[in-house]
Amino acid sequence: MNKRHFLLFLAGLVLAGVIQACSAAAYGPPPGTEGAGPEEPAAPAATQIFPATPTAVALLEPTALPAIPEQRRLTLEWPPTIRAGDADVIRLTLEVDEMGNLTPTAEIEGHAISGETVSIPNLYETHNVIAEARLDMAGVIVTPAGQVSEPLLPGKPVTFYWSVRPAEMGRYRGTVWLYLRFIPKEGGEEMRRTLSAQVIEIQAVTLFGLTAGPARFAGTVGSFVGAVLGFPFIDDVFRWLWRKLKR
């Protein structure tokens, strides 16, 4: 390898290093956002240019996707055990998480802007959002069967209820599905997103083979029979108790 080739090789190496450094600066996280949590959807999508002089800041319009500016919480409530023949309720609520409500901000330490709100198009303004839910559980009578839907409005919770009635003893597994359907207000293609699919298990139990209805009937009749059988002895029982208390 002569001197000219070696110099060319050296120049190539330097050039490759410069390109690598430039690409890392362009695609790497902006300074001051390393500690940002995952709930800052606007930060990677917003396009911002920061010139060398910190006082002059130029902001371009953000190109973020429309989003729902709320942190929500999904609560699923169900009975892990049900008496066979009895009905109970499964409740699914998608509510606004008051503690987790956030305003997406871009904060650049040492620069002119600080805590500036990044404008993300509000999904509620551009789309009708419908929450859809379904409970799949084989072997159990589920009411309502199939899909149920409710509009998702800003700051408002949506709640779905299902009544489940296992007819026989056993262990039943099911899935609670929740979807979001986005219908553009100005027309266009609808979009659907699966928000959660949660597996639940319900155990239907009996008392020596007795389901809930017959057990209640037997208990009522038995109590009546027991009371009638024991009725002639009630005065004896009271007398015995009275003697016991007197001593």
Residues forming the site for another protein (CB under 8 A) = 38-39, 41, 65-83, 86, 88, 94, 97, 100, 102, 104, 123, 127, 180, 182, 191-193, 195-196, 198, 207, 210, 212, 215-216, 218-223, 225-227, 229-230, 232-233
Nearer to another protein, 109 or 189 (CB): 189
Cα 106 from Cα 115, distance rounded (Å): 6
- Least gap, CB of 237 to another protein (angstroms): 9
Q: Which is nearer to another protein, 153 or 218 (CB)?
A: 218
In the complex, minimum distance from the CB of residue 78 to another protein, in angstroms, rounded to a whole number:
6
DSSP 182: E
Closer to another protein at the Cβ: 53 or 63? Answer: 63
Residue 211 near residue 166 (C-beta atoms within 8 A)? no
Residue 92 Cα distances to 78, 135, 172, angstroms: 9, 10, 18
Rounded to the nearest whole angstrom, what is the least distance from the CB of residue 246 to another protein in the complex? Answer: 22
Which residue is listed with tokens 């020596």? 208
**Which is closer to another protein, CB of 9 or CB of 240?**
240
Measure the CA–CA gap between 192 and 212, rounded to whole angstroms. 41
Q: Which residue lies nearer to another protein by CB, 68 or 108?
A: 68
Shortest separation between residue 194's beta carbon and another protein, angstroms: 9
In this complex, which beta carbon is closest to another protein, that of residue 40 or of residue 107?
40
State the sign of the Cα–Cα–Cα–Cα dihedral 139, 141, 147, 150. Answer: negative
End-to-end CA distance of the chain: 120
Write down the least CB distance from residue 69 to another protein, Å: 6
Sheet of strand 140-143: strand arrangement? 88-96, 158-166, 140-143
Q: How are beta strands 140-143 and 158-166 bridged, if at all?
A: antiparallel
Provide the minimum distance between the beta carbon of 10 and another protein in the complex, in angstroms, as a whole number. 32
CB atoms within 10 A of CB 68: 18
CA neighbor of 180 nearest in space, from 35, 66, 44, 104: 66
**Beta carbon nearer to another protein, 57 or 102:** 102
Residue 218: CB minimum distance to another protein, A:
6
Complete DSSP assignment for 88-99: EEEEEEEEE-TT
